[in-house]
A and B are shown apart, each in its own frame.
Chain A
Amino acid sequence: MVGSKFKWSTIILYCIAVLILLAAVFPYIYMILQSLANWDQVDKTLIPSSFTFRSYVFLFKGGPNAEPKPWAQAFFNSLIVTLSCTILMMFTGLLVAYALSKLKFKGKNFINNTLIFQMFFPSIILLIPSFIMLEKFHWYDTYWAMILPKSVSLWAIFMYSSFFMSIPDEIIESAKMDGANNMTILFRIIAPMSASISTIVFLFIFMERWIELLWDMVMIRSEELFTLNVLLAQMFQTYQQYPGAMYGASVILTLPIIILFIAFSNKIKEGIQFVLK
């Protein structure tokens, strides 16, 4: 009697859990299905009955009344910008965090304080003057405008330094005895120890940079330099009569991130425990 009651509540629990799961993944499923739907069914049925690759062909080849937009180039731009920023942010994060957590030097407190101040500083103030400055540098409308101003992540520094705090100083001391310099210690000993936190830092920075909108929209004018997210935003009104193609572009934009996170999902658990502490 008690056993059967327990089962019923578990079944109800799983039903609710599955319903919420459906709500969580609904937009993804929707955009995939609609991108493959026959064009007369797009947005008119939840589950299309006939499928076609026309939306994807249209994206890359164009149609009778529409020149193709540089979607492949945009994907490539997103990849270059995101990877460059992510690598730079992780590299600078490692260096600065090492200085702040493992080196003793005059002015360390000052740097720590500016870092905290900056983290709470509303960055919207920086947008307009940065735009003008980058224009003066002749970096406006180039990759540099998207990469260099996003080459340091305060969050990455913060994450790495709080992780490094948990590494005992004895390891560094004994490495120094063996004649290792700071660079060797950081990249041969500390960095490999930080693999799990690095995975998390990589995934979150990559994801955030990949879906950045406002900055890239302001800094770039040429269509062939648009990131995928910006191109999609720019075509929002223009391609209104081609919703299938827009869903196709959304799938191309979204899928890499989802695949990346699912591929690393078993490593996320251990890293995230640390991030949230």
Chain B
Amino acid sequence: MKDKSITIKGWLFASPYLIYTVVFFLIPVIGALFLTVTDWNMMSPDIKFVNLDNFISAVKSPEVQAAFIVSYKFMAIILPTTLILSVGQAMLINSLPKYKNVFLVGYFLPYLASGVAIALVIKGVLAYNSVVNVWLRSIGIAIDWFNHPIFTPLVIAFMITWKFSAYYILIIISGLESIPKEIYEAAKIDGAKSWTTFWKITVPMLYPALYTIVILTSGWMFSIFGEPYLLSRGGPGYGTYTWQLSIYFNAFQRLSAGYASAVAIIAAIVTFASVLIIKRLARGWGRKYGWE
């Protein structure tokens, strides 16, 4: 009797989560699976079943192939730069004798920015008549920043790096604080150079923090939306066309709900598999340092 009442209480306390999960998770997931085998355009009353046609045409379409490549392209740029920037800035803050907290708060501020507001600033700073471009033209360089096969992805990658390394600094700082000072002192007595100390002590000891950053960043690469949506619309030539842009344009501008759902499921599978592989790789890297 008592067992039963305790069980009811437990489920009662957990009920907000359970109701939420059924309504806003389970039903949509089933809905998505249903949509993918239809050709529904969000309006017409009759829905045709098309089997796996949506998946087949999605895999064949250049935009989905572009989205597949673009997410890894962003990862290749953003992952190393965020790692270097967040570790560098965290170590810089850590080595300051005074005013650490001022810099800690200041360096964190980029994380609070709305992608829309920052896109606006970047668009202004790199506008045709901006200070930067006027100066560049005066030395004979003219770049169309938002319609350039190399610079457009770089600008967007730079915005994302700027924002996320701000958060990762905190993770690295708390990782640095957990390294015992004695290790560094011992290394110093043994005459280790600071470069050696960094690679042989700091990096291995920071591994849990670095692992978190690698996983968070690579997961995030599959949900980039605002920056390319506002600045490049995925262009030029699908060069910044992300999964979320593809899903958004297909569902809410071309109104092909079935096809867009198929793209969403492919995106989810690719995300899941990629993060899993990266986790494996990162674990293997950790094992080299003796982490389990």
Contact = CB atoms under 8 A, between A and B. Distances in A.
Interface of A: 10, 13-14, 16-17, 20-21, 23-25, 27-28, 30-31, 34, 42-46, 91-92, 95-96, 98-100, 103-108, 111, 114-115, 118, 120-122, 124-133, 148-149, 151-152, 157, 182, 207, 210-211, 213-214, 218, 229, 232-233, 236, 243, 246-247, 250, 253-254, 257-258, 261-262, 265, 268-269, 272-273, 276-277
A27 B117 contact: yes
A13 B261 CA distance: 51
Interface of B: 3, 6-14, 16-18, 20-21, 24-25, 27-32, 35, 42, 89, 92-93, 95-97, 101, 103-110, 112-122, 124-125, 127, 129-131, 162, 166, 170-171, 174, 222-223, 225-226, 229-230, 243-244, 247-248, 251-252, 257, 260-261, 264-265, 267-268, 271-272, 275
28 contacts: A21-B106, A24-B162, A24-B166, A27-B117, A31-B121, A43-B129, A99-B12, A99-B13, A121-B25, A122-B272, A128-B32, A128-B257, A129-B28, A133-B31, A149-B24, A151-B20, A152-B21, A207-B112, A211-B114, A214-B226, A214-B244, A232-B117, A233-B229, A247-B121, A250-B116, A261-B108, A268-B105, A277-B174
A253 B13 contact: no
A42 B27 CA distance: 49
A30 B121 contact: yes
A99 B12 CA distance: 8
Given A17-B103, A250-B121, A99 B114 contact: no
A254 B117 CA distance: 8
A101 B137 CA distance: 62
Nearest to B159: A27
Given A107-B11, A111-B18, 20 more contacts: A21-B107, A24-B109, A24-B166, A27-B117, A96-B13, A99-B13, A108-B10, A126-B25, A128-B247, A129-B261, A151-B16, A152-B16, A152-B20, A182-B13, A211-B116, A214-B225, A233-B116, A243-B127, A265-B105, A273-B174
B42 A132 contact: yes
A188 to B, nearest CB: 16
Contacts of B7: 105-107
Nearest to A91: B16
Contact of B117 (A121, A149, A253, A277): A253
B13 A30 contact: no
